[in-house]
Structure 1
Amino acid sequence: MKKLYPIEIITDSENTVYLPTDFEANPPLKRLAFGALSKDATIKKHPKPRNTVGISSDLFKDLLFPSSTSTVHLFIEEETLYAGPLVGIFTSGFSTIKVRPIGDRSILFSKLLSVQKTVGVIAFLFGEQHINWETGTINGLFYEDGWKSVKVPFPNVVYDRIPNRRIENLNKIQAVKKRLQKEYSIPWYNPGFFNKLDIYERLLQDDGISDYLPETHALTNFSVIERMLSNFGNVYIKPKNGSLGKGIYQLLYDKKDGYYYTRFKDIDQGNRLMKFDHLEALINHLFENQNLSHYIVQQGIHLIRSEKKSVDFRVHTNKNKDGHWEMTAIAAKIAGAGSVTTHLNNGGTVKTIEELEDTDLTSEEMINKLTKASLQISKALEKQMEGFIGEIGFDLGLDRKGRVWLFEANAKPGRSIFKHPSLRKFDLETRRKSLEYAVYLMEQNIHSLEDIYQ
C-alpha cells in the first residue's frame, strides 16, 4: 500500500535523508531524486522511531523542493530514493494578472491545486512559456493562499489540461508534449480530445461494450437518415468534435402525418421546433453552406422520464493511485422545455439520482446499472486509445426498459454538474482522484525505465 509521509527539514546535517521508521528499504540507497533532479546523499533510518522523512535543508534547496512541500510518497529503484510525485499541470491561456494568472479558469485550477497535500502530490501549473530547456527547470505556478511562481525541476508526471482542440493542435504545444515525453520519458496523461465517431468505431470492436452503443454513422447522405428515422422514429445529428451540446439537432418523423420535425437551439431565438414536408428540405435548411462530413447521425433513444421530461446522466470515472478505475461522480440531467439536449445552457437542470420523481427504476437500480456500464466502458476505452487516460466524463442514458446507452465520452469532462449543492462531495472526490493517478504513473515509470534521472 502506498503511504504518505510528512517531510521534516533537518538543519543539523548536510546532504542527508532520514527514512521513516516503517519504510522498508533493504538495498543501500545512495541518491535522492525529486522530479528530474537527483543528487548523491547519505540515506539512513531515523536514529529514533519516527515516521517522517527527514531531508537536510541543503539537499531540500539543491533539489528545488518548493518551500510549501509538506508530504511525499517514497519509492525505491536500484540505489535511488524517489520523493514525489511532482506533477506539472500543462495548460494555456496565461495572463499577466497575478491574482488571476489563468484568466477565468484561475478559480478552477486553484480548487484543483488545493487538494494536493491530502493526495500526497506536489502540483503546479505551467505552459510552454514557463519552461527553461537549458536548465531543465520550470517556473511553475503554485497556489497556497494566493498564486506564486516557483522554480522546480521537470516533473515526474504531466497532467494535460489544454482547453480546446485548436490550441492542442498548435505546433508549439505539440513540440512541448513530444519533447517531454520522448527526451525526458515523462508520462503524460489525459492527452487529446475524443472524436465521437472514432470512439464509437473503436468501442464497436469490443463485444462486451457494443450493446451500450446506439447506432451511429458518419453523415454522408440523406438515405442514412431516412433509414434510421424509419427504424427508430427519431435521430440526433451531432458535430463529430462538438462539446457543451452545441450544434445538436434532433430529427423526428411522424408516420401519421408524414411530416419531418427538427428540434434545435437557435442562437437568437432559443429552443425551436420546425416542421418540413420533405427530409431534403429540412437538411438543406439546417446545413446550408456547411460540410456534412463534420457531423454524425445517431439513433434516438426513448429515455426514462422524470416530471414528464427526458433524463440522461453524467457519470465521471477516474483512475486511482493503484491504477484502478473508480466511479467518482454521478448526476441526473433533466431536459428543459422544448430542448434537444439536457445541457444546462439549453435550459436543463441537474439533480441527484435520489431526487428524480416518477421513474420506472429505483435510484439504487439506476446507480448500479450506470456504475457497472461506466467502469466497463472506461476499461474498454483504455485498451483502445493511445496514451494514459486518467479520467472520463460519460453522457449515459437509460431507456424505459432499463437498458444503458452511451451517448458521449469526454476526455476533458466539464464540471457544471458540481454547482448542485448535493453534488459538491463529488467535486472534491474527482479533483482528488485526477491528481492521485499521478502517484501510480510515477511508480510505474521509475520501475520500468532505468536511468531516467541523470
Structure 2
Amino acid sequence: MLKTYKIERFLDDECLLYLPSSVPLNADSLHQVSLGSKYATASCNSHPNGRNVIGISSKLCEELHFPSKLETISFIINDDRVYLGPLIGIFTAGFTSFRLNPIGERSSFFSKLLSVQSALGVIPFVFGEKHIDWENGLIRGLFYFKNNWETVTVPFPSVIYDRLPNRRSEKKKTYNEIKEKLQTQYGIPWYNPGFFNKMDLFERLEFDEKVNRYLPETNSFQSFEEIERMLASYGHVFLKPKNGSLGNGIHKITYNPNLGEYYCRFTDRDEKKRLWKFSTLEQLINKVFRKKQLEKMLVQQGIPLLHKDHRPIDFRVHTNKDENGSWQVSAIAAKVAGAGSVTTHVRSGGEVKSLNELFSLEESKIYEERLKSAALTLSTAIDQNIDGFIGEIGFDLGIDQNEKVWMFEANSKPGRSIFAHPQLKQSDLLTRKLALSFGAYLSQKALLHPGEMVK
C-alpha cells in the first residue's frame, strides 16, 4: 500500500515540491510533477526543514489544479517524474441541483466512499458526463471535505471507477463514447465497467471445472417442456429477468405431483405478494407472463435451502480486489426471506442477519469458510472470463440442506443495504477502502507496467 503523508502548502511564485525527508531522493533527476493528466516542470527536493511531509508551492498547486482542501496524499516516483495521488474519478449519473444531495439518494453512499481518502492518500472525486471539459482536459469534480460537498476543477484522473446506477444509464450512447475516449485517447484505466448479464455469465462459467459445481442449472426460456423437465427434476424453479436487479421480476414456480397443480409465487408491481394456482403450466405461463417478457427471462434450478422458521436463507458475500490486485472477501451476511416472499431482499420483507445470529458457533465457522472459499474461487473465474478490470463483486450464494454452496447471482455493482446491520460496520468500511485501494493499484500498474494492462 502507498504511504500517506500530510500536505504543507506555502506561497511561492515558482513550481516547487518538497518531498518527505525519509524518502531517498536524487533531486537532480526529478524535473516534473504530475496530478492525473496534468504535469508541470518543477524543482523537487527533500524538505528543507527535514520534516516528513510533502510541501507544495502555491504556483505548483495552480499549475496542477491541486485541490486546496486536500490534507493528505501519497505519491510514487518513476523516471524523472513525481506522480501525486493517484487521482481517482468515480463516474456515475443521476446528479441533482441540490447542494446537500448532489447525487440524489446515493449521495450518502458516495460521501462515505470519499471519506476514506485521508486514510489511503488517494484523491477520489465523483463526476458525470456533463462535468467534463474536453477542450481543456479538466473535470468539475464533486469532492467531500469535512462533511460538505464541494465542486473542484481537477485534471482528468489517473484511473476511473465505474459506479453507474443502472443498466439504463449504461446503455446511453454517450456513456460508451466517453468511456472509449478516456480509455483509448487518454490511456486511463477504467474498472468495474458494465453490469453482468445473468445468462451470459452462467454460460461463460459453466465449462470452468473449478466453478461449475457451484452453478445451478440455468437456461434461457425456451419452452414449456423444458420447465416441465426441470420441475420434475428439482421440484421448483425460478424465472428471472436476465438483466434484473433488486429481486424485481423473480417468480417461483412449484409443481405438486399429488394434486397435479402448479403454483406461482411473485411480488406484483404494487409490491403485493401473490400466490396463484393453476391446473396446467401453460395456463400459468400465459396468465402471468407476456410473450415478449418471456424472451428476456431465464429458468433456474430451485435449491432446497437452509431455513429459519420455515423461511429460506441465502447469503450476500462481497469480494474486492485489494491494493495488490488480489481477491479477498470483505463482507458476509445472511438474508432471511420475508413471509410469503420469493426473494430474501430487504425491500421484500427480508431480514439481514449475521451468521452467529442464525447458527451455532461451529455451524457459523463451517458456513463462513465454505462461503469464502466459493466466493474467492468464483471471483477469480469471473475475472478471467469477463472483459475489463473487475474490482468488486457481490454474490448471492445459497447453502442447501446437504451443506453444498450454490451461486444464484453475481453483481458487478453490488448494493449496500446489508451494511445497515450493526455488526457489518467494519465490513462496510473495508469494502470502501478496498474499492479505492484497487484504483490505486491499477494506476500504479498502468504507470510502472503498461504492457501488462491488456484485459
Q: Which residue of 1 aligns with 2:301?
A: 299
1:266 aligns with 2:268: yes
Given the alignment, which residue of 328, 335, 338 partners 2:337? Answer: 335
| Cα drift, residue 358 of structure 1 | 7.3
Cα pair 1:306 1:357 within 8 Å, conserved:
no
After superposition, residues 277-292 of structure 1 pair within 5 angstroms as 277-292=279-294
Runs of 4+ in 1 over 6 A off after TM superposition: none
Return closer, same or farther for 1:9/1:37 CA change in 2, 3 Å cut-off: same
Q: Which residue of 1 aligns with 2:2?
A: 2
1:127 aligns with 2:128: yes
| Cα drift, residue 46 of structure 1 | 2.6
1:185 aligns with 2:183: no
SS at match of 2:75: strand
Cα pair 2:338 2:351 within 8 Å, conserved:
yes
| Cα drift, residue 382 of structure 1 | 0.7
In the aligned structure 2, how far is the partner of 1:397 from the partner of 1:49? Answer: 57
In the aligned structure 2, how far is the partner of 1:131 from the partner of 1:269? Answer: 39
In the aligned structure 2, how far is the partner of 1:4 from the partner of 1:373? Answer: 34
After superposition, residues 209-228 of structure 1 pair within 5 angstroms as 209-228=211-230
| Cα drift, residue 266 of structure 1 | 2.1
Q: Which residue of 2 aligns with 1:118?
A: 119
Q: Which residue of 2 aligns with 1:176?
A: 178
Aligned pair count reads 449
Return closer, same or farther for 1:331/1:168 CA change in 2, 3 Å cut-off: same
SS at match of 1:290: helix
| Cα drift, residue 365 of structure 1 | 0.7
Q: Which residue of 2 aligns with 1:440?
A: 441
Q: Which residue of 2 aligns with 1:17?
A: 17
1:310-365 CA-partner distances (Å, limit 9, x unpaired): 10000111111111111111110001111111111211111111100479x71111
In the aligned structure 2, how far is the partner of 1:151 from the partner of 1:254? Answer: 63
| Cα drift, residue 9 of structure 1 | 1.9
Cα pair 1:123 1:142 within 8 Å, conserved:
yes
Return closer, same or farther for 1:280/1:81 CA change in 2, 3 Å cut-off: same
Q: Which residue of 1 aligns with 2:40?
A: 39
Cα pair 1:306 1:358 within 8 Å, conserved:
no
Q: Which amino acid aligns with 1:86?
A: L
Cα pair 2:2 2:120 within 8 Å, conserved:
no
Given the alignment, which residue of 231, 247, 250 partners 2:249? Answer: 247
After superposition, residues 48-447 of structure 1 pair within 5 angstroms as 48-144=49-145, 145-268=147-270, 270-357=272-359, 362-447=363-448
| Cα drift, residue 427 of structure 1 | 1.6
In the aligned structure 1, how far is the partner of 2:276 from the partner of 2:356? Answer: 35
In the aligned structure 2, how far is the partner of 1:396 from the partner of 1:288? Answer: 29
| Cα drift, residue 25 of structure 1 | 4.3
Cα pair 1:333 1:350 within 8 Å, conserved:
yes
In the aligned structure 2, how far is the partner of 1:291 from the partner of 1:413? Answer: 25
Q: Which amino acid aligns with 1:159?
A: Y
Query: Please, which runs of 5 or more residues in structure 1 have no aligned partner?
Result: none
1:136-156 CA-partner distances (Å, limit 9, x unpaired): 001111112322211100000
| Cα drift, residue 206 of structure 1 | 1.3
1:247-268 CA-partner distances (Å, limit 9, x unpaired): 1011111222221111111234
Return closer, same or farther for 1:24/1:366 CA change in 2, 3 Å cut-off: farther
What is the aligned-residue identity percentage?
A: 50
In the aligned structure 2, how far is the partner of 1:358 from the partner of 1:228? Answer: 34
In the aligned structure 1, how far is the partner of 2:65 from the partner of 2:385? Answer: 38
Bigger shift: residues 297-306 or 107-116:
107-116
1:59-112 CA-partner distances (Å, limit 9, x unpaired): 122111101222222112221111111111111111222222112222221121
Cα pair 1:140 1:151 within 8 Å, conserved:
yes
Q: Which amino acid aligns with 2:383?
A: E
Cα pair 1:307 1:358 within 8 Å, conserved:
no
SS at match of 1:379: helix
SS at match of 1:312: strand
In the aligned structure 2, how far is the partner of 1:156 from the partner of 1:383? Answer: 24
Cα pair 2:2 2:121 within 8 Å, conserved:
no
1:181-236 CA-partner distances (Å, limit 9, x unpaired): 11000011111100000110111121101100000000011111111111111111
Q: Which amino acid aligns with 1:72?
A: I
Give the alignment's TM-score, normalised by structure 2.
0.95
Give the alignment's TM-score, normalised by structure 1.
0.95
Return closer, same or farther for 1:423/1:156 CA change in 2, 3 Å cut-off: same
SS at match of 2:352: strand
In the aligned structure 2, how far is the partner of 1:16 from the partner of 1:135? Answer: 23
Q: What is the RMSD of the two structures over their aligned residues, measured on CA atoms? A: 1.8
Cα pair 1:236 1:248 within 8 Å, conserved:
yes
Q: Which amino acid aligns with 2:228?
A: E
Return closer, same or farther for 1:358/1:367 CA change in 2, 3 Å cut-off: closer
In the aligned structure 1, how far is the partner of 2:418 from the partner of 2:271? Answer: 25
